[in-house]
Structure formats: structure tokens, C-alpha cells
């Protein structure tokens, strides 16, 4: 698919951005250098007449992306998670790219269900509705199972969507290469990595079995969480192009009037939205990375129901501990400790001045903490933090950017429910609980036990390793023609053997 024909796709894209007025907005938000602006104009202005007009009621960038089709809409959704790359204002605009495509005919959806599941639709479902939601990659139908009349949600991929994405992704790679070539300053943001991340995300979403697996894993990790629910996947009625889940009855999180009419406590719901996100990110390292209001419902019981598991975030255990220490350092206004954590984690180069960095962090934290409690934003704090760390040489870390973006979205949902919410007061208990359980003596003992279990597996190989090292050391001494003290390697191995045996014994206790 890659070749000169991708230039035509970029020309059509540039023409559409020029025609809709999106070109100037994007270049301004990205603070593009002159060379990139010239290249963009060459791809846009002379061919403006070839561009799509789009919906004039939409903002320029949203208008251009929706006019260009599903691949571009999905790219916009992914870029909304990268405010470091497109700018915070543009990222905010791109977040509205949800369910913006018209549905495809129900007859086509039925054909895809029959082809993927190998059975007639009427043999599986007693009812199969018109689309209830349509997005860039798939649409959802409400159905009832034959026999038990249980209500389910059936998600079906758009016909031909895989080919459309394969064609457009090649053009996106070409655009990323041009940005890196024409804008050396943009290389820090790693445009090729951004598109590679987009490519990987889309490939997962084009196989609904992957999303079903994500939903299953998320349901398992959150099963013990009170007040939070993940619908169960019906694996017997799911495949590459079709995913069937239990239907989640509830009120859309955006429908404040309906939530009030149902008697739900919005203050409680706002705290819960924020707390469950932090719990999943810190405790599990696996969180829903697209928690906007369209993907959340309030069940009749008051539980929060999560939907759509196409974008999930992961944090390894070490990163979670670093993130928690950074948050707690800001909560306690211990800017020196926040600086030390960045240096210990290797986020900031060791040759930078830690005192200057701590001072810069204070400049980030103090204005925010000087605000009224209802205006304090953890998402804003993290955004400012990344600006400071960039000045001190920290490279872009995609997992932290995704976390920060999701934090901003979750805060927005929580504040819609409770405009006077104190973010720190709601977040504090979750962060403190994580630190108490993962950074104290119990955590140290747990880490030691894990290390011992790993070393114990190598126990059978230790005698041979010691013998080989001793023979190597003896040959080295023999070649020198004189007697020498034992080689340091021997002492290291001997000590390692003693420690390994001791830890192996500990692991059996």
C-alpha cells in the first residue's frame, strides 16, 4: 500500500483542511515552524477546490476530520489523548469526535452477524433493532436472545473498514515522516511513534475479540469494586466482526436532569467517578482510557457502568509508584520530594540541577493550590508539570500522557455532576491508600518475596554456573603464570549463591 499514491491522499487531506479553515488552526496549535507551514500550504492551498466542504456547523478541525471519513475521525480521537502533540485547546476540540458518523444499514449489519457467527440472525436473536449508536469503527444494536429473551448489545464492525484504515494509515505515516523531516523540534514528540500507536490501537479495535478480551480483563480486575460495573461479554456470540455483551440498563452520565429525576446523589457519583479511575490506574495499572460521558451510565442501583473498551491504558508497577509519589508530593506541597522522584525514576537527566527543578515545581503547584478548592484541577497540574519537565529535558512518555488526558476527561465528567467538587479531597484517600499498601514495609516484603521466587527458579543452574566461573578464573590465573587471589567474579558468585539460597528459603516460608 505504501508508495507515491499516498501523496495524493495527503493533497486531498491538505485541501480539505484548507477549505474548512482547519489548516491555520492546526499549524497555530502545533506552533509549527515556517518550513512545515510552507509544506502544508503547498499540499493545501493550490488544491483547495479538491477538498471536502464538511458540516459548516462544526468547528474547523472537527469539520475537516468528519468530512474525510472514519480513519481521520479515529485519528482525531487518538490525538485528543496527546495534548502535548496537538496543544491543549485542539485536544479539547477533538474530544467531541464521538459517534459522529451516520449508521450503515441494518441489513448489512445482519449480514455481517450471520457471516461472523455462522448462523442466521433470527436463529440467535428474537429481536434485532436499528442502530442505537454509530461510531467511526462500529455501531451498536439492541437485541434479545432466542429462548431466554435476555436483552443484549450487539456491536458490529463497519463493512470495509479494515481496507479503509489500511489505505489511510500509510498516508499518516508519510505525513509523520514529513513532520519529522521539516520540523526537527517536533522530533521530541515522536510523530512516527504517535502514528504507530494509532496503528496498533486501530488494529486491536478492528478485531472485536480483542475488545472483548479487554472488557473481560477489566471486569475481572474491577469485580470487587463497589459501585462500579462492567457488562459481561457473551463469548459464544462474539467474533472478529461482532461482539455481544449484556445490555446495561441505565441513564447516560450526560443526562443530568434524568439523574436528578431518578434520585441519584450527584455529589456521591462525582467522587466515585474520580476515585474508581484512580483506583484502577494505581491499584491495577489497567484503566479505561476513554471515560467520557458517552461511555458511562448510571444504573438504577446508582452503580457506574462502563462501556466501550477500545482504548485501555496500562501502567507498570514501577510507573504507578512514581505517579503516586508525585501526586502525594504535590498534595503535601513537598516539592523537593517530587523533584527527587523525577530524578530517581530517570525522567529528568541526572546532569540537571535538582534544586532548580524543585523551584520550578513550586511555581507549578503554588498557583494551583492558591485557587478555590472547587477550581483545583489535577489534570491541569499534570499538564503544567509536563511543561516544566519538558524544559528540563524529560522525553515524552506516552503512557503518562494518556493517563493525564484521561484524568482531564474524568475531572470534566465529575465536575459536570458536581461543579463545586474538591478534586484533591476526593482523590487523597485513594492515593494515600495506594502509597500505604505499596510503598511501606509490607510492599518491601512483597517485593522481596517476588524476587526470591524468581531466583528460586534458577536454583538448579547455580552449581554449574559457579563451577564454570571458577574454572574460568583458574584458567585466567594459570595463563598469567603466577598465583593470584581469587578473582572478584568468584566472590560475587559465591555471595550471589548465598543470597539466592537465602531468598529461596524465604520464599518457601
DSSP of 219-278: HHHTTT-TTEE-PPB-GGG--SSEEEEE----EETT-HHHHHHTT--HHHHHHHHHHHHH
DSSP of 57-92: TS-HHHHHHHHH-HHHHHHHHHHTT-HHHH-HHHHH
DSSP of 151-201: EEEEEEEPTTHHHHHHHHHHHHHHHHHHHHHH-GGGGGG-HHHHHHHHHHH
DSSP tag of 303:
-
Residue whose C-alpha cell reads 486501530 in the numeric block: 202
DSSP tag of 55:
-
Sign for the pseudo-dihedral over CA of 146, 149, 152, 158: positive
Q: Please, are residues 258 and 264 in contact by the beta-carbon 8 Å criterion?
A: no
Question: Buried (b) or exposed (e) across 75-111, using 16+ Cβ within 10 A?
Answer: bbbbbbbbbbbbbeebbebbbebbebbebbebeebbe
Distance CA 463, CA 453 (A): 18
Distance CA 334, CA 304 (A): 34
Q: Please, are residues 242 and 290 in contact by the beta-carbon 8 Å criterion?
A: no
Catalytic residue among 116, 170, 271, 290: 290
Distance CA 71, CA 69 (A): 6
- What are the phi and psi torsion angles at 297 (to 5°)? -130, 160
- Within 10 A of 473 (CB to CB), how many other CB atoms are there? 17
55 given a catalytic annotation: no
Distance CA 247, CA 149 (A): 12
Length of the chain: 509
Q: Which three cell numbers stand for residue 418?
A: 458536581
- Nearest of 157, 165, 204, 168 to residue 311 by alpha carbon: 204
- Within 10 A of 6 (CB to CB), how many other CB atoms are there? 19
**Residue 162, beta-bridge partner list:** none
Active site residues: 290
Amino acid at each position: 500500500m505504501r508508495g507515491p499514491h499516498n501523496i495524493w491522499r495527503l493533497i486531498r487531506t491538505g485541501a480539505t483542511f484548507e477549505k474548512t479553515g482547519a489548516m491555520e488552526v492546526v499549524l497555530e496549535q502545533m506552533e509549527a515552524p515556517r518550513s512545515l507551514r510552507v509544506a502544508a500550504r503547498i499540499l493545501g492551498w493550490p488544491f483547495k477546490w479538491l477538498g471536502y466542504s464538511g458540516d459548516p456547523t462544526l468547528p474547523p478541525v472537527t469539520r475537516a476530520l468528519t468530512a474525510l471519513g472514519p480513519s481521520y475521525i479515529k485519528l482525531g480521537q487518538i490525538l485528543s489523548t496527546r495534548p502535548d502533540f496537538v496543544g491543549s485547546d485542539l485536544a479539547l476540540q477533538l474530544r467531541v469526535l464521538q459517534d459522529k458518523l451516520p449508521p450503515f444499514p441494518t441489513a448489512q449489519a445482519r449480514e455481517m452477524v450471520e457471516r461472523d457467527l455462522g448462523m442466521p440472525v433470527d436463529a440467535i436473536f428474537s429481536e434485532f433493532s436499528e442502530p442505537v449508536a454509530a461510531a467511526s469503527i462500529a455501531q451498536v444494536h439492541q437485541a434479545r436472545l432466542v429462548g431466554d429473551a435476555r436483552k443484549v448489545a450487539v456491536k458490529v464492525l463497519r463493512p470495509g473498514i479494515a481496507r479503509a484504515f489500511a489505505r489511510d494509515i500509510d498516508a499518516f505515516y508519510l505525513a509523520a515522516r514529513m513532520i519529522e523531516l521539516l520540523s526537527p523540534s517536533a522530533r521530541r514528540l515522536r510523530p512516527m511513534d504517535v502514528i504507530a500507536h494509532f496503528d496498533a490501537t486501530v488494529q486491536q479495535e478492528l478485531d472485536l475479540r480483542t475488545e472483548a478480551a479487554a472488557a473481560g480483563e477489566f471486569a475481572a480486575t474491577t469485580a470487587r469494586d463497589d459501585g462500579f460495573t462492567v457488562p459481561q461479554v457473551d463469548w459464544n456470540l462474539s467474533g472478529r466482526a461482532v461482539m455481544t455483551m449484556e445490555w446495561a440498563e441505565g441513564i447516560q452520565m450526560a443526562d443530568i436532569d434524568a439523574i436528578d429525576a431518578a434520585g441519584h446523589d450527584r455529589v456521591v457519583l462525582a467522587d466515585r467517578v474520580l476515585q474508581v479511575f484512580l483506583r484502577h490506574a494505581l491499584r491495577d495499572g489497567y484503566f479505561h482510557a476513554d471515560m467520557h460521558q458517552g461511555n458511562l451510565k448510571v444504573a438504577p442501583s446508582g452503580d457506574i457502568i462502563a462501556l466501550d473498551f477500545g482504548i485501555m491504558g496500562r501502567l507498570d508497577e514501577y510507573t504507578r509508584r512514581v505517579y503516586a509519589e508525585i501526586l502525594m508530593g504535590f498534595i503535601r506541597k513537598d516539592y523537593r520530594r517530587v523533584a527527587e522522584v523525577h530524578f530517581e525514576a530517570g525522567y529528568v537527566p541526572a546532569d540537571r540541577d535538582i534544586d532548580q527543578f524543585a523551584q520550578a515545581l513550586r511555581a507549578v503547584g503554588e498557583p494551583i493550590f492558591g485557587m478555590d478548592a472547587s477550581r483545583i484541577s489535577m489534570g491541569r497540574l499534570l499538564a503544567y508539570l509536563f511543561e516544566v519537565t519538558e524544559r528540563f529535558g524529560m522525553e515524552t512518555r506516552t503512557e503518562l500522557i494518556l493517563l493525564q488526558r484521561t484524568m482531564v476527561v474524568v475531572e470534566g465528567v465529575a465536575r459536570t455532576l458536581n461543579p463545586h467538587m474538591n478534586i484533591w479531597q476526593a482523590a487523597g484517600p485513594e492515593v494515600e491508600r495506594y502509597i500505604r499498601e505499596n510503598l511501606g514495609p509490607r510492599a518491601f516484603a512483597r517485593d522481596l518475596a517476588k524476587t526470591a521466587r524468581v531466583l528460586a527458579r534458577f536454583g538448579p543452574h547455580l552449581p554449574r554456573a559457579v563451577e564454570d566461573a571458577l574454572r574460568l578464573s583458574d584458567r585466567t590465573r594459570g595463563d598469567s603464570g603466577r598465583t593470584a587471589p581469587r578473582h572478584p567474579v568468584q566472590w560475587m558468585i559465591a555471595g550471589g549463591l548465598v543470597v539466592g539460597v537465602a531468598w529461596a528459603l524465604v520464599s518457601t516460608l
